[in-house]
Chain A
Amino acid sequence: MINGVNRFIPDNLNSFKTSDSYLNMKRILINKKEKQFRTVFLNSIESAFDYFKIKSNQCLSFHHHLRNGDSVLQQVCEIVKKRDLRNMHFAPSSIFPSYTNLADLILNENVTNIHTNYINGRVADVIGQGYLKGKLIMNTHGGRARAIESGDLKIDVAFLACPTVDKFGNGTGAFGPSACGTLGYAISDLQYAKKVVLITDNLVDKLDEYQFDGVYVDAVVVVDSIGNSNGIVSGTTKLTKDPIGLKIAKDCANMINHLGLIKNNFSMQTGAGKISLAVVKYIKDIMINNNITGSFASGGITKSYVDLLNKGLFKALYDVQCFDLDAVKSYNINDKHIAMSASKYGNPFEKDPICNQLSFVILGATEIDLDYNVNVTTDSWGNIIGGSGGHADIAYGANVTIIISPLFKSRIPIIKEKVFTVTTPGSDIDILVTERGIAVNPKRKDIQNTLKNSGLPIYTIKELYEIAHSITGVPAKIEHSNRIIGYVEYRDGTYIDCIYQVD
């Protein structure tokens, strides 16, 4: 069948209709795992496999708070490989280039199904080439929380890296040799997985404050290392120096200011891309010049936002994951730097999720099409290069959703007639800012009217599309193959697009 963004979805699947269809759905909650008051301490991850009788065909989950520095998933993969468990279902919240062991397990058919929010690196290549025997489901951060709490994603054992754990099984990421800050993506795993194992390299007697409540923890394993905190910084968390990026950032900040969005008690979120961080810098200047104090900033938190909090420009930060070590440190020492779960962040069925309270959000795009649909899952040839993360969650929730991007990247125009893969529906995208002009989604007449006499270069998205083509020429159309290897799952659990094998 053809879904709400004109994409083919197999008839047996629940296809996407509109981004607010969830308003007519009922929240489904399975029982949280039973609280227990005796946490077992095991001497190795392998002994946890024995203790919980982990066998083939089970689902194991992980979080990605240590990002490219994580080694817990790698260590678990080694044991799966050693025991030659088959048809395993892995559900890491994201997959980074360092998770190379997982690629081997896919090739060897130890792991045959994957649920995740983002993939980059060798695992993405292996899956894209069709080696995952089952299916890849790419959902959103909020959607993953929804899937776990509803039982759509049933987790047998959650292996959760935890930088510091006490003797009661309570855990925190705030400090420890491998501190990674907040542990927001793992809260659903903690509460709903059948069994929970905390993996730590720092055991203490007692924690006064913790994000993982020991009553949900079945076992703790102390290992030499859970990873390297330095790997948290992904390399995309630095402010751009590229003149094109800076122009986009400045135009974006000026436009936001012209829309009157920078006022007392406003709230915002940006991605951690280089241009987004430059926008944050310009917004900071506007706030200081106009003596404005915001309510909160949210998201993955970087040093840029920590600085804004420390200068009193925001009253609070809501943090689902720390993107750099400054954010980790801030989370440990500043009460106004508040952890939130992925559910509180973007689960559509959560009461007043943070994403719904945002004045505006600034996001990136790999591609955007004439209907404003955004792709951050694949590149223009269909190779998997990322995923929604929180993209679709905050695009839906924020009052104004802004996409920033150069009009073309390495001579490839970012505006397409149709994006290769729909990650976020165009109905949730309000504005596109490029170095050559700004396009406003026609559904936002209010924004169009406000910007009409702003002096900013306003075009239709079709005009920007034609400007790009006049410079780069018209790229050849790339057709996808016929073999579906996975699906992009919208936050409400419906399927918004298919992911196809790369030829």
Chain B
Amino acid sequence: MFRSLLFIPSNNPSMLQNADIFSADGIIFDLEDSVDISEKDNARNLLMNYFNEGVNYPSLIVLRINPVDTEFFLSDLELLKTKKVKYVLLPKTDNRSLVVLDKYLCLYEKEFKLNEIKIIALTETTNSIIEINQIAKHKRVEGILLGAEDLCSELEINRTNKGEEILFARSKVIYACTANNIIAIDTPNTLIDNEELIRQDCLNAKNLGMKAKTAIHPNQLEIINKVFSPSKNEINWAIKVIKEKNKNVNKGAFSVEGKMIDKPLLMKAEKIINKAKSYHLI
């Protein structure tokens, strides 16, 4: 379970050295877009050394590799041997690339005795949005990240903070993820300094049903974590619901604060409690 994933360019030694101190639930070590083509080998070598020789690591490590049809793909996968990577973030995911990656992950897991590596599918093309239901059903996919910048570029439309232009894509990600019980992850916001606009963007995404968001700068993390965590009121309500349920074990419905609680609300309360525990809020 995570609320926030922070992108870190893998060719930046200072950022690697400090990757564990930020308040992100997970770190995405990027070998793709934030690394210039001339720096790909350096970034991979640096990351290999960090995974092998580092002292402190983030609690959750995601590796964004280069697309399966690039010359860098197979070299990037060598980093899996370090046994530090929990998720691979697959750029421009579609059914075909998912099959290719899955095949190699199976090989690596078998040959190097790795724990199962899960995939976060980066849906950033119109094709990936069209294929999103099948992507979400894949057994290795535990989350789908919307990549709005590339998508809007393909659509030849401008990004806005209000996000009406990505409402369809956001909704597709959310519905596919929710139906398949995986995590819907919102696109990063390129604003770094405007806290209010970042907060508004997070609220828009959360209110639609996104469960997490990516950050491109540590400054964004506090807001993301706050918005995607259950609020104090929600936690207090959920605690009351669970307490009341324990008093009414055999009842299908009961009341809390004068309002009827039945199965859907009970499930909502349980999810809130799980999140609150996971994020050390209770």
Contacts and interface: CB of A to CB of B under 8 A. Distances in A.
Contacts of A436: 21
Contact of B21 (A241, A435, A470): A435
Interface string A220-264: 000000000000000000000101101100100000000000000
Nearest to A434: B21
A418 B205 CA distance: 52
B55 A470 contact: yes
A241 B56 CA distance: 24
A241, A243, A250 — which one has the most chain B CB atoms within 10 A of its CB?
A243
Contacts of A471: 17, 55-56
Interface string A376-407: 00000000000000000000000000000000
A436 B22 CA distance: 10
B52 to A, nearest CB: 14
Contacts of B34: none
A471 B222 CA distance: 26
Given A243-B217, A244-B18, 9 more contacts: A241-B192, A243-B15, A243-B219, A244-B21, A246-B219, A247-B22, A470-B55, A471-B55, A471-B56
Interface string A463-475: 0000000110000
Contacts of B192: 241
B55 A247 contact: no
Contacts of B218: 243, 246-247
A316 to B, nearest CB: 30
A244 B55 CA distance: 18
A133 B99 CA distance: 76
A243 B56 contact: no
Contacts of A247: 21-22, 218
A233 to B, nearest CB: 21
A132 B177 CA distance: 72
Contacts of A244: 14, 18, 21
Interface of B: 14-15, 17-18, 21-22, 55-56, 192, 217-219, 222
A435 B20 CA distance: 10
A318 B5 CA distance: 44
23 contacts: A241-B192, A243-B15, A243-B18, A243-B22, A243-B217, A243-B218, A243-B219, A244-B14, A244-B18, A244-B21, A246-B218, A246-B219, A247-B21, A247-B22, A247-B218, A250-B222, A435-B18, A435-B21, A436-B21, A470-B55, A471-B17, A471-B55, A471-B56
Contacts of B56: 471
A246 B222 CA distance: 12
A470 to B, nearest CB: 5
A435 B15 CA distance: 13
A435 B222 CA distance: 15
A473 to B, nearest CB: 10
Nearest to A457: B21
A241, A244, A250 — which one has the most chain B CB atoms within 10 A of its CB?
A244
A244 B16 CA distance: 12
The 7 A-B pairs at the shortest CB distance, nearest first, are namely A243-B218, A470-B55, A435-B21, A471-B55, A244-B18, A436-B21, A246-B219
A220 B217 CA distance: 55
Nearest to B15: A243
Contacts of A243: 15, 18, 22, 217-219
A221 B173 CA distance: 75
A435 B22 CA distance: 9
Nearest to A469: B55
Contacts of B17: 471
A250 B14 CA distance: 19
A247 B222 CA distance: 11
Contacts of B22: 243, 247
A256 to B, nearest CB: 17
A244 B18 CA distance: 8
B163 to A, nearest CB: 25
Nearest to A455: B280
Nearest to A435: B21
Nearest to B13: A411
A17 to B, nearest CB: 40
A250 B219 CA distance: 10
A436 B19 CA distance: 11
Contacts of B55: 470-471
Nearest to A246: B219
A410 to B, nearest CB: 9
Contacts of B14: 244
Contacts of B219: 243, 246
Nearest to B21: A435
